[in-house]
Amino acid sequence: MTHIITRACCNDAACVPVCPVNCIHPTPDEPDYGTAEMLYIDPDGCVDCGACVDVCPVGAIVADYDLTDDFARYEEINARYFSDPAHAEYDAEPQTPPRRVWDLPSAEPLKVAVVGSGPAACYAAEELMSQRGLAVQVDIFERLPTPGGLVRFGVAPDHQDTKAAGSAFARTLRRRGVRLFLNAEVGRDVSFEALRSRYHAVVVAVGAMDDRPLGIAGEGLPGSHSATEFVAWYNGHPDYADRTFDLGHERAVVIGNGNVALDVARILVSDPEALARTDIADHALEQLRKSTVKEVVVVGRRGPLEAAFTTKELLGLAETPAADLVVRPEELRLSEDQIAAAGERSVALYKVELMAELGTRTPSHERRITLRFLASPDEIRGDGWVESVRLTRNELVADQGRTVARPTGDVEELACGLVFRSVGYRGRGIAGLPFDEARGIIPNEAGRILDPESGAVLAGLYVAGWIKRGPSGVIGTNKRCARETVTQLLADLEAGRLPALTDDRDVAESVPGHLDLEGWKAIDDYERSEGKAQRRPRVKLTDVAHMLEVARG
Ligand code: NAP
């Protein structure tokens, strides 16, 4: 008997230290952790103790005897990881890191301002608050009246199990020593200088909400949208609530094949009545009910082995009850060299096998998602509205150890009425802090913010999450990232490198319009009770003024 990790895995690795035989991999210290689609349990190592089940924040771990049909494939997926010779051998000792007890001479509590309230911000706050023997005060500043960042505005509404990670963050926000400043934008309601003078350290964890442009002609045509905008809209982000998406077209094309592309495709073809049981924004539900989209074509520039979407999201797509999955067998064909390089029993190859298998199912729905590979858009065409995308066929070539797409010169015109550009998120610069325009991140070394001119560390300034490393990984990947940042911060504290406070006034006096935890609780209760009446997890408020009204009773 063994335990098995399933779809909702958030990679936060809370399960790793509690495993008495260290059979859950990759661990955060292993090289492939940063790129791992999920964590896996070795069926030959598992002693079936169930300790991991108790600590998993998203309920993703089940015993094999409890595995339901929808998750049956995860048995093979978990086992596959360990059939790769690179993963087969590991030390079966538990990985419980020693816990330090601080004993510093200063009686003054360490005061840290965290900017942002998404996963990286909450993991950073939790890491700070869980130091033993160290008095810490963490103030979290969030420009919106609701905390959560991508948990609220990024995770798809039909992935409520993934959103369960938010309950661990809610516990952090309730901790004594943590204060929440919502509706408090740094730069608007409180200056960055005020934070620097009143806190020993500032951790910037504002994520990456902008989209990466494609840089091709026609990108700005009406009907061509960024996926980031669409995702924020259907998730009820107040900044995007007034956008309109005319879904009265038969075919939509999604450019890029990461998990966001699959989220967009799945939402577009899902049965609106199934979505009506989620916390999708009401305005999006209304538009989706009127949608005439019949086909969503997801276009990847490289091959199926290089697809950025994960096996579990592919499986989720295949299980979308309202649509068929279509592939072109010739685009899935792999050479023997490709198979050997991927590893015959690798998880990457499993994903391609799965696409091939799913593609042979007899079509039975009115709607479909077509996965296309080896094609790059070079122009979006239309006269006042999107009418087609011109695609150039690619071939794969090796380039400095990477597999890259090279245009063959063959072109194809794909007629469509909608385009969603889903080629990654991008961070936005913050006034008063350096910004690396090329990478869309704040320049840093393991979380310490650097002056780009001199390369010197800017004392007391730190960064965590997507604005630190770029938009990669899943929710739990931010835990290791935030821990790395907090480790640097604490090393600086110990070495006396943190700047002294120059202003001892409480920042709460300078941010009069902010909401605190009670305010958020009022909004949360209101949304949940509205949801209960409609048998939904919550009905999201999308208007800031309305949120403030509810919060203030
Ligand atoms: P992503 O995973 O980085 O995927 C971006 C995609 O865009 C890749 O397929 C990339 O192809 C393609 N691309 C980039 N530039 C392109 C160009 N000029 N032309 C055509 N294609 C181009 O980004 P994402 O989908 O936005 O996701 C961001 C992060 O959030 C990821 O870590 C993702 O796993 C995570 N996420 C997770 C979930 C989940 O777990 N359910 C859901 C949503 C998002 P190449 O590979 O060839 O560069």
Q: Is the CB of 211 under 6 A from ligand 1?
A: no
The domain ranges of the chain are 3-87, 110-209+427-514, 218-422
pLDDT of residue 97: 79
CA torsion angle 540 541 547 549 (round to 10): -120
pLDDT at residue 359, rounded to an integer: 86
Quote the percentage of the chain above a pLDDT of 90.
88
> Parallel, antiparallel, or unpaired: how do β-strands 110-115 and 61-63 relate?
unpaired
Residue 485's pLDDT is what?
A: 98
User: Which residue's alpha carbon is at the smallest distance from atom 9 of ligand 1?
Assistant: 257
Cβ-in-10-Å burial (0-12, 13-18, 19+) of 45 comes to middle
- Ligand 1 centroid to Cα of residue 299, in Å, is 12
| Ligand 1 binding pocket includes 376 (Cβ within 6 Å) | yes
pTM to 2 decimals?
0.96
Residue 84's CB: how many other CB atoms inside 10 A?
A: 16
Alpha helices in 256-346 (DSSP H): 259-269, 272-275, 282-290, 311-318, 329-332, 336-342
The reported pLDDT for the residue numbered 344 is: 85
Ligand 1 centroid distance, CA of 315 (Å)? 17
SS3 314: helix
Q: Please work out whether the CB of residue 260 comes within 6 Å of at least one atom of ligand 1.
A: yes
- How remote is the CA of residue 424 from the centroid of ligand 1, in Å? 5
Q: Is 300 in the pocket of ligand 1 (CB under 6 A)?
A: yes
Query: Cα 65 vs. chain centroid, distance in angstroms?
Result: 31
pLDDT at 317: 86
Nearest to 386 by CA among 420, 411, 410: 420
Is there an atom of ligand 1 within 6 Å of 301 CB? Answer: yes
- Whether 256 lines ligand 1, by a CB cut-off of 6 Å, is yes
Q: How far is the CA of 309 from the centre of ligand 1 (A)?
A: 7
- Which amino acid is residue 153, in one-letter code? F
Mean pLDDT score, 298-307: 97
Mean pLDDT over 113-142 rounds to: 97
**Contact present, 127 and 58 (Cβ < 8 Å):** no
Residue 106: the pLDDT is: 73
The CATH code for residues 3-87 is: 3.30.70.20
Q: Return the closest-CA partner of residue 448 out of 491, 498, 485, 497.
A: 485
Query: Could you identify the atom of ligand 1 that is nearest to the CA of residue 228?
Result: 26
Output the pLDDT for position 318.
81
Confidence of residue 508 (pLDDT cuts 50, 70, 90): confident
Give the mutation target among 255, 259, 311, 391 for probing the ligand 1 site: most ligand atoms within 8 A of CB. 259
Confidence of residue 30 (pLDDT cuts 50, 70, 90): very high
Is the pLDDT reported for residue 405 higher than 90? Answer: yes
Q: 279 vs 7, 232, 236, 450, 542, CA distance in Å?
A: 20, 13, 9, 40, 12
Q: Which amino acid is residue 154, in one-letter code?
A: G
Q: How far is the CA of 472 from the centre of ligand 1 (A)?
A: 8
User: What does the pLDDT read at residue 96?
Assistant: 81
Superfamily (CATH H level) for 110-209+427-514: NAD(P)-binding Rossmann-like Domain (3.40.50.720)
Q: Is 114 in the pocket of ligand 1 (CB under 6 A)?
A: no
Task: Using most ligand atoms within 8 A of CB, pick from 155, 260, 315, 320 the residue to mutate for ligand 1.
Answer: 260
pLDDT for residue 82: 95
Please report the atom of ligand 1 found closest to the CA of residue 306.
46
Mean pLDDT across 22-36: 94
260 Cα nearest atom in ligand 1: 25
Q: Which CATH number fits domain 218-422: 3.40.50.620, 3.40.50.720, 3.40.50.2000, 3.50.50.60?
A: 3.50.50.60
pLDDT surpasses 90 at 321:
no
Determine the pLDDT at residue 251: 98
* pLDDT tens profile 509-544: 889 889 999 999 999 999 999 999 999 999 999 999
Cα–Cα distance between 416 and 251 in angstroms, integer? 5
Query: Average pLDDT of 100-121?
Result: 92
What tokens appear for 441 in the block? 């991140």
Q: Separation of 237 CA from ligand 1 center, angstroms?
A: 21
- Arithmetic mean of pLDDT over the chain: 95
pLDDT in tens, 356-393: 998 888 889 999 999 999 999 999 999 999 999 999 99
